[in-house]
Amino acid sequence: MTDLANATVLITGATSGFGAAAANRFAADGARLILVGRRNERLDELKSKLGVPVLPLALDVRDRQAVARSIAELPDAFARIDILVNSAGLALGLEMAPKTSLDDWDDMVDTNIKGLMYCTRAILPGMVERKRGHVINLGSVAGSYPYPGGNVYGGTKAFVEQFSLGLRADLLGSGVRVTNIEPGMCETEFSVVRFKGDPSQAAKVYQGMKPLSADDVAECIHWVAALPDHVNINRIEVMPVQQAFGGFAVNRTPAGAEAGATAKDR
Ligand code: NDP
Ligand code: 8X3
């Protein structure tokens, strides 16, 4: 088993959802934690309750300079990161592509793709130098299976899937592991953020079904990290039992008649 009691774990998106649950899970092993998020008060709250050494790092992962500077300036006790959990991310909106906000698209690309890149790139050289480390990315089933309104969000998670595999290729021989965790529906703040703070719209997403919990996903994160050093789980796709696939959609409008037609939800 990897010695998690002596590990230093940096978790982005630690102020909520999977990141917060992973912080709790690794704290149970006694790991040292660097917790990243923009909401300072939540980081302080975690630090006061986790009972292990915690370095709160209030940071916007979209800020390339700030990410590089924060990692370069880590205090000695936290400087040797063994595990990076890239959980910071978001979906914004569920509109069809022709109507969606370009600002939302930019924000998802900047956070889910570029933020994840910046954190990974800042931390990898140290892992390679120490010949040990584990990058655990939070992809999504949305990276493999499209759904209406998933457009750019799904695209960002497809990037995470391919980037994770690319890292494996680049890091062969380095001793550094890479895993992409790809969850389906999980009730965190994810849908509240997606629907811009509307809790009733968010609640409808999980109505009448049992979604994954953040702890379920944290268990997957913890499991891949705890495996012996020579074992690399490339990807885990995990869904609630009550979620599956809908099949292909077919437009049955007679050929030619659809030109110029506007579906009411498009
Ligand atoms: P939450 O909304 O509960 O948590 C998202 C976290 O990301 C928060 O801690 C937030 O912190 C942080 N974050 C967002 N933007 C930034 C930023 N610019 N800089 C730093 N931190 C940021 O969502 P989940 O925990 O559910 O989602 C975590 C990851 O898992 C995301 O990448 C999401 O896409 C993915 N995912 C979620 C699924 C779900 O159904 N919930 C399913 C599959 C994947 P703060 O606001 O304090 O900065
Ligand atoms: C979040 C899961 O199915 O809402 O990545 O896109 S889903």
- Tokens standing for residue 227: 């495996």
CB of 185 shorter than 6 A to ligand 2: yes
Domain that holds residue 67: 8-238
Distance 14 CA to ligand 1 centre (A): 8
The rounded distance, in Å, linking the Cα atoms of 188 and 124 is 29
Closest atom of ligand 2 to 150 CA is 6
> Do residues 182 and 236 lie in contact, with contact meaning Cβ atoms separated by under 8 Å?
yes
* Structural domain count, the chain: 1
Q: Which residues are catalytic?
A: 153
Q: Does 139 reside within a domain? A: yes
Residue located nearest, by CA, to atom 6 of ligand 2: 142
**Of all atoms in ligand 1, which is nearest to the CA of residue 42?**
47
Q: What is the pLDDT of residues 81-105, one digit of tens each?
A: 999 999 999 999 999 999 999 999 9
Query: Is residue 213 included in any domain, yes or no?
Result: yes
Inside any domain, residue 243: no
Q: What backbone phi and psi angles, to 5 degrees, belong to 256?
A: 95, -35
* DSSP line for 214-247: HHHHHHHHHHHHHS-TT----EEEE--TT-----
- The answer to pTM > 0.85 is yes
In Å, how far from its chain's centre is CA 257?
42
* Residue 52 forms part of a structural domain: yes
> Which residue's CA is the closest to the ligand 1 atom numbered 10?
13
Asked if residue 49 is part of any domain, the answer here is yes
Where helices occur in the chain by DSSP H, the ranges are 17-27, 40-50, 64-72, 102-108, 116-130, 151-171, 190-194, 199-205, 214-226
Is the residue at 258 inside a domain? no
Rounded to 5°, angle at Cα 139 from 38 and 135: 75
Here the tokens at position 121 are 């790139």
Closest ligand to Cα 118: 1
Nearest CA to ligand 1 atom 35: 138
What pLDDT, on the 0 to 100 scale, is given for residue 257?
75
| pLDDT tens digits for range 15-44 | 999 999 999 999 999 999 999 999 999 999
Atom of ligand 2 nearest to the CA of 140: 5
Q: For residues 168 and 170, what is the distance between their CA atoms, to the nearest angstrom?
A: 6
Measured in Å, residue 9 CA sits from the centre of ligand 1 at 17
Which CATH number covers residue 30?
A: 3.40.50.720
Residue 244 domain-assigned (yes or no): no
In a domain, 247, yes or no: no
How many Å lie between the centroid of ligand 1 and the Cα of residue 256? 43
pLDDT at 242 over 60: yes
